[in-house]
């Protein structure tokens, strides 16, 4: 149900390990489904320092506004600027074109707190 090659947070973010100590972050298909149609996204600034578990972005849907939390501490290296014109990509392709931002990880041991696809599946089904 959820991609096995990703890590997850209990706040419904996914994390994909990238090159040179960076991670890519998005929200899960479960979160996108719960939100409904995404109409606006507020992303962090490139170069901004973020702290693990602190709110750093927002996703607005026809139902509500939801905070997005940094899964680890670090510096924002990239944001998905295409979401400014196509926020619905979060609904249609949450693990691909709907990614949110990339972080250069300050402390790689923080990744150990994230959960597997199986554990995340249990979290949302229970």
Could you state, in order of their start, the residue ranges of all structural domains in the chain?
7-107
- Three-state secondary-structure class, residue 54: coil
The whole-number pLDDT of residue 126 equals 79
**75-108 confidence digits (pLDDT tens):** 999 999 999 999 999 999 999 999 999 999 999 9
- Contact 39/8 with Cβ under 8 angstroms? no
User: Which class in CATH covers the domain with range 7-107?
Assistant: mainly beta
Please give the share of the chain, as a percent, with pLDDT higher than 90. Answer: 95
Sign of CA dihedral 72, 73, 78, 82: positive
d(CA 37, CA 80): 18
Strand partners, 37: none
Query: For 115, which DSSP code?
Result: B
What pLDDT, on the 0 to 100 scale, is given for residue 68?
Answer: 98
Q: What is the pLDDT of residue 71?
A: 97
Taking only the tens place, the pLDDT of each residue in 29-55 is 999 999 999 999 999 999 999 999 999
Work out the angle at residue 74's Cα, subtended by the Cα atoms of residues 33 and 71, and round it to the nearest 5 degrees.
30
């Amino acid at each position: 149900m959820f991609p096995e090659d990703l890590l997850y947070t209990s706040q419904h973010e996914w994390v994909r390990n990238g090159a040179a100590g960076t991670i890519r972050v998005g929200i899960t298909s479960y979160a996108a489904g719960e939100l409904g149609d995404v109409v606006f996204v507020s992303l962090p600034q490139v170069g901004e320092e973020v702290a693990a578990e602190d709110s750093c972005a927002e996703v607005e849907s026809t139902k509500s506004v939801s905070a997005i939390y940094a899964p680890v501490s670090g510096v924002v290296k990239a944001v998905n600027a295409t979401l400014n014109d196509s926020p619905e990509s979060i609904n249609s392709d949450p693990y691909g074109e709907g990614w949110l931002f990339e972080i250069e990880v300050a402390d790689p041991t923080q990744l150990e707190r994230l959960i597997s696809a199986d554990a995340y599946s249990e979290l949302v089904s229970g």
